[in-house]
Amino acid sequence: MAKCTAITQGGDRCKGIAIDSSGYCYAHHPDHADERKRAAHKGGKRGGRGRPSPATGELVRLQGEFEEIAGKVLAGEVERGDGAVVAQLLNGARACVLGLLKAREQEELYERVEELERRLSVNQRNLDQKGRKAW
């Protein structure tokens, strides 16, 4: 297998394995850099019902960071220990985003139930009035 031809920030030759004939590993491959950027850009712009969803965008961004770290660890640019710590911290951020999504879901459900209850009571009042008129 061919070695990656990129030079790392430290000035050494990258220790990664080239993923195709381009001679670059995953971390250095220009195609994948574009892919990651596009995914992070495209993702989460719009949520359900056309509203922006920052949580989805955050998750896509975090995914990109996880992949970047994975690539750099494999390429020998980031030490395994550092990579593990960063991955753990990113996992914490991910937990926050997921928690936020859940909380928002609960809030939306609560609002919808309240709205339904309000409409029900309005309908009930209308029915009562019609009933009285009929008498």
Compute the least distance from the CB of residue 40 to Zn ion, in Å: 20
Compute the least distance from the CB of residue 89 to Zn ion, in Å: 24
Question: Closest CB to Zn ion among 23 and 47?
Answer: 23
Tokens of 92: 């914490």
Are 56 and 44 in contact by the 8 Å Cβ rule? The answer is yes
Site residues for Zn ion per CB under 5 A:
4, 6, 14, 16, 25, 28, 75
Question: Closest CB to Zn ion among 29 and 61?
Answer: 29
Compute the least distance from the CB of residue 21 to Zn ion, in Å: 14
How far is C-alpha 126 from the chain's CA centre? Answer: 46
Question: Closest CB to Zn ion among 14 and 55?
Answer: 14
Beta bridge partners of 3: 17
- Between CA 129 and CA 123 the distance in angstroms is 10
Question: Closest CB to Zn ion among 4 and 78?
Answer: 4
What are the E-state strand segments in 1-135?
A: none
